[in-house]
Amino acid sequence: MTMDVLTVVGARPQFVKAAIVSSALQRGGLVESLVHTGQHYDDNMSDVFFRELGLPGASENLDLGGLSHGAMTGRMIEAIESIVQQKRPAVVLVYGDTNSTAAAAIAAVKLHVPVAHVEAGMRSFNRRMPEEINRVITDHVATYHFVTSEAPKRHLSAEGIVDGVHVVGDVMRDACVRFLPTARERNTLSEHAFMDGAFALVTLHRPENTDDPSRLAALIEGLSLVSTEIPLVIPLHPRTKRRLSASHLALPESVHVIEPVGYLDMLALVDRCALVITDSGGLQKEAFYLGRPCVTARDETEWTETVELGWNRLVGADPVAMRSASVGFLSAAPSQSREGVYGDGHAADRIAEILVDAIRAGARASD
């Protein structure tokens, strides 16, 4: 059967983005089929997002998590190619920078199916990051590039990509606007004592931080220093938990460790906290949207505007810098305006409108 949009997702941030954009596609009258690659496959990292966000059930679940980069990407390409051949979509829609993103883009373009890339043009300029490779590959084969702001548009232009580039804003801002009231009403974390006082929210999961024992040890030292200033709460990522055990490292006893949480509970934690310490790109933005200062345990960030406006500080794996940035934010909150930096909360509607027009134009041309 012929259908309009084949959406491919595989990781937590993509589920959130897809929930927002899928609703807009449906309002625009498009028929969408969702493929879940299984890159994030346990309940706390995957199923809970489908339940909480009203994301349509996946028509295909490839169950391809837990493999090496090469094996995972290769098997995804093979499986997605077969699905594209079967469903014959007008567009394959992908998000962000995961192996699922690059695999779907490669499979689609080799079958001459246009690729639409949400969150195109993001660059860390660090080719050691697998995510950077995935971004570059996807952008250079995509037909439609949906960018969050002028900065990624400039990145694409510098690489010779100027056609099909649309500044639409960030669908994660759409998600914050839509889901924050629900997150506040749920109150599912009320049994935790830390919710009654000030705390800093911590997440660490990137391989560059967790897979290097010396870097991981430095980050734990940094958290220990910060924990003398404010209580810390960390929803512990499965990878980080494994790496801590393998490296014979332990989080400070003063850190409140909880299980990974879904998007709504994470949004509630960001909304309630005084400070965010993270290596997550998505959490940097959520902190920015909710007016929470962010200390980023990376050497670079794709979300440069958050740093330029003073809401985000990059500290790498330097424990002293982590403490200094945290204390600085706790003593003096940022004051620069955050309004309009990544759109107005209607990015998904713009994406849907562009795809509706393109698909309808393509249908008329083939008549």
Q: Which of the residues 205, 237, 248, 346 is marked catalytic?
A: 205
Distances (CA, A) of 177 to 20, 286, 352: 11, 11, 18
Label residues 192-203 b or e (16+ Cβ within 10 Å = b). eebbeeebbbbb
How far apart CA 270 and CA 264 sit, in angstroms, is 10
Centre a 10 Å sphere on the Cβ of residue 73 and count the other Cβ atoms it contains: 25
Residue 205 annotated among the catalytic residues of the structure: yes
SS3 338: coil
In the block, residue with structure tokens 């949207």: 289
For residue 32, what are the contacts with CB-CB under 8 A and spacing of at least 6?
Answer: 3, 4, 5, 6, 7, 22, 25, 26, 56, 93
DSSP at 67:
S
- The residues, any chain, with a CB within 8 Å of residue 355's CB and separated by 6 or more, are 4, 5, 25, 28, 30, 91, 93, 116, 144
Q: Please answer whether residues 357 and 28 qualify as being in contact, where contact means their C-beta atoms are separated by less than 8 angstroms.
A: no
Task: Assign 69 to helix, strand or coil.
Answer: helix
Residue 294, both tokens: 């962010």
Are 303 and 252 spatial neighbours (Cβ–Cβ below 8 Å)?
no
Q: Which amino acid is at 227?
A: S
Catalytic residues, by residue number, are 205
